[in-house]
Amino acid sequence: MPGNSDDRICAVILAGGEGSRFGRLKQIEPVGETCLLGIVVSSALHCAEFENVVLVLGAGADMVKGALGGIIDDNRLEVIINDNYTNGMSTSIRAGLEAAQRNEYDAVVFLLGDMPMIDAGLLDAMIARYRSSDRSLCYVRANGRTGHPIIVRKDHFDAFMNIEGDIGGREIVRENIESALEIDIDDEGIDHQLDINNAEDMKAYLSLCRGRNAT
């Protein structure tokens, strides 16, 4: 059996930012009966492969928890407060990995709290590919670019713990590309990679939601 087949996997959702480019706390932007972050959290909780979902909050943590409503009480959800969020995404990565290491997970799937189109179906398919391989990193590639999510086996936890500033893990993936499994999702729809950075992105997302609901 491949080396990853029995890995214990958790999700780490990075949602500690202030939304400076958006102009306000985008995690709590209303989407239907929930909020932007609620869509991401719900998708992760609907992925049966995750034993646990670690949600890393920072800016406006109390408001964000309130906006999430009842989902905050799901027994698979562990909420971590990153008090150092002003020092960049790397601090949320470390906070999430510390939680994963405490619970002795073999791998984590990093999700961004402002990428709501990454659904449970994509997560299930990606983890299935990871489990059938012996690679220690797994990432999606869309429109010729390294995208999200990223699966990281514990071999690379130390490298991710040493990231500094407001950056994620793409550089580590590039440096270890021989250990990485690439999953090309161009044929499955580039919409998966929609990143909500500003009001125009939010309008585009809501438009996509209306289009899907109409079909």
Tens of pLDDT, residues 117-174:
999 998 999 999 999 999 999 998 877 777 889 999 999 999 999 988 777 777 888 8
What's the confidence (pLDDT) of residue 116?
95
Q: Is the pLDDT of residue 215 over 50?
A: no
What's the confidence (pLDDT) of residue 143?
75
**Which one is predicted more confidently, 214 or 117?**
117
**Which one is predicted more confidently, 1 or 50?**
50
What's the confidence (pLDDT) of residue 187?
54
Q: Is the pLDDT of residue 59 over 90?
A: yes
Single pTM value for the model: 0.93
Tell me the domain boundaries of the chain.
9-214
* pLDDT tens sequence across 171-193: 888 889 999 999 887 655 557 88
CATH number of 9-214: 3.90.550.10
* pLDDT tens sequence across 69-110: 999 999 999 999 999 999 999 999 999 999 999 999 999 999
Please spell the DSSP secondary structure of the chain, one letter per residue: --TTTT--EEEEEEE----TTTTS-GGG-EETTEEHHHHHHHHHHT-TT-SEEEEEEBTBHHHHHHHHGGGGG-TTEEEEE-TTGGG-HHHHHHHHHHHHHHTT-SEEEEEETT-TT--HHHHHHHHHHHHTS--SEEEEEETTEEEEEEEEEGGGHHHHHT--SS--SHHHHHHTGGGEEEEE-GGG-GGGG----SHHHHHHHHHHHHHHHH-
* pLDDT tens sequence across 17-35: 987 888 889 999 999 899 9
What's the confidence (pLDDT) of residue 212?
66
